[in-house]
Amino acid sequence: MRPLTAQWVANAVAGELAAEVDTRVTSVEKDSRDVRPGALYAAFVGERVDGHEYAPRAFEAGATLALVSQPVAGPHVLVEDVTAALGRLASAYLALLRTEGDLTVIGITGSNGKTTAKDLLAQVLDDVVAPVGSFNNEIGLPLTVLRADASTRHLVLEMGASAPGDLAYLTRIAPLDIAVVLTVGTAHLGGYGSPEALAAEKATLLDGLVPGGLALLNADDDRVVAMAARPSLQTDGRRVRMYGTTPGSALVATDIALERGRPSFTIAGEGISSAGRPRAQLRLVGEHHVTNALAALAVALECGTDLDEALARLSEALPLSPHRMALTERSDGVWILDDSYNASPESMRAALRALREVATTGRSFAVIGEMREMGDSSRAGHEEIGLDVVRLRIDHLLVVGEGAKPAHASAVREGSWGDEAAYVATIDEARAFLDGRLTRGDTVLIKASHGAGLWKLADDLLGVDS
């Protein structure tokens, strides 16, 4: 972070500086345990924790300033709403950085793949700042912006949406040079009511483009393709490019092949010679990652990265964020495919297909939990996943938790299964079930929404401290 004075911070957030202090801020943290000397500590009030109570600890750790909604003992800027103030601070800071250097701001949204795409870009682009984990909301995005400094050439922002207006708010904080839309599925459908309403929300990302900005749209998703006609893209020199497996796209993947679940594909499209077309090989597991890789490649080429260099970096890229299609072989020869960070019907099906491709030496076990935020479509969505497990010929299904129980019932009906399908209520029961059955060569997929907690089971199976 570029150093800022306390007065500059107060002016940027329209807050009241408690006292005249000659101090500088060199980082921003929301957790007092992460504070280092020079930090601005942002005190949020949550359902269970009041960050103001931890201000003394933050100052002891070296914080030089606090952003607060009630007075604390120590240098602070008082505001009415800390979340809104953090957004104003990030907006002003980004505007400052734009005046001082050559910065390209990239925003990524989509029902699936946002985190993987930004992790790929973090490994493909030079001088890049990208979110930690899934910092993609009204708190995480400003914190990511505030990590950039004068040396940052590429700022990659993951932009999530749980309710109408979320993306418009995030792009007001960070107007975009490049906007990437991956997919429109059914994740967070409970907050919108229909896929059409969700698509309309995702399309607002494009309104956040600066004049002359570029929209990169997934040509394989009809709802995303329709966004090309959005009025905001028809003005101020904004541009649209398509990527995908659809012929005629500006960037196309052809001849897709899988080796133990890891995809490779040939690159074609605008400016790429038909002779000796380059081929990409990914270390990520799952054919669905072709879309994420193409999006990252399209961004890299727009930012001036050489095609061969970009492909070389893609071939070495790993899933940086935890619990996302991470394939690990245990010492006993059991393979764990951990995709337990989040889940929607689309990502669940993609993970099941990846399990089928990966499980080449033994039996396949799908361990699934609840897909949350699906509203009225929850029961039907889980039932469909149960059917998919049977139709994909996965060997065993273990459903964990009441919210996912319809998946077990539908699988049993579809497959007339006996011991092949099981239901347990708790994670401890799931661990006991697996411990009694797994043998060398078996592959286990762990998949659920984060709130279902199956990531704890994945960590436990891998011997990782949660």
Tell me the longest C-alpha to C-alpha distance in the chain: 74
Buried b (16+ CB within 10 A) or exposed e, 331-353: eeebbbbbbbbbbbbbbbbbbbb
Same domain, 192 and 331: no
Say if 130 falls within a structural domain.
Answer: yes
Query: Which positions ≥6 away from 268 have C-beta within 8 Å?
Result: 251, 252, 253, 254, 274, 277
3-state secondary structure of 36: coil
Same domain, 176 and 311: yes
CA distance 399 to 418: 14
Say if 92 falls within a structural domain.
Answer: no
Where does 362-404 have alpha helices with state H?
378-391
Choose the final residue of a domain: 316, 343, 364.
Answer: 316
Chain centroid to Cα 220, Å, comes to 20
Same domain, 386 and 431: yes
- Inter-CA distances, 190 with 182, 235, 305, 378, Å: 20, 33, 39, 9
pLDDT tens digit at each of 466 positions of the chain:
999 999 999 999 999 999 778 899 999 999 999 999 999 999 999 888 999 999 999 999 999 999 999 999 999 999 999 999 999 999 999 999 999 989 999 999 998 899 999 999 999 999 999 998 778 999 999 999 999 999 999 999 999 988 899 999 999 999 999 999 999 976 555 566 688 888 999 999 999 999 999 999 999 999 999 999 999 999 999 999 999 999 999 999 999 999 989 999 999 998 887 777 899 999 999 999 999 999 999 999 999 999 999 999 999 999 888 899 999 999 999 999 999 998 999 999 999 999 999 999 899 999 999 999 888 889 999 999 999 999 999 999 999 999 999 999 999 998 777 789 999 999 999 999 999 899 999 999 999 999 999 999 999 999 987 6
Say if 221 falls within a structural domain.
Answer: yes
Same domain, 352 and 311: no
pTM recorded for the entire structure: 0.90
Say if 226 falls within a structural domain.
Answer: yes
Q: What is the DSSP string of 393-450?
A: T-SEEEEESGGGHHHHHHHHHHHT-STTEEEESSHHHHHHHHHTT--TT-EEEEE--G
Q: Which CATH number fits the domain that encloses residue 279?
A: 3.40.1190.10
Same domain, 280 and 383: no
Q: What are phi and psi of 400, to 5 degrees?
A: -120, 120
Other beta carbons within 10 angstroms of residue 105's beta carbon come to 25
Same domain, 295 and 338: no
Same domain, 253 and 341: no
- Inter-CA distances, 222 with 110, 253, 455, Å: 13, 17, 32
Q: Which residues pair with 253 in a beta bridge?
A: 267
**What range does the domain containing 172 cover?**
101-316
Say if 88 falls within a structural domain.
Answer: no
Q: Which residues pair with 365 in a beta bridge?
A: 396, 444
Q: What are phi and psi of 425, to 5 degrees?
A: -90, -25
Q: Which residues pair with 265 in a beta bridge?
A: 280
Look-up: residue for tokens 């491709």?
A: 357
Q: Which residues pair with 339 in a beta bridge?
A: 447
Look-up: residue for tokens 């009041």?
A: 50
Say if 96 falls within a structural domain.
Answer: no
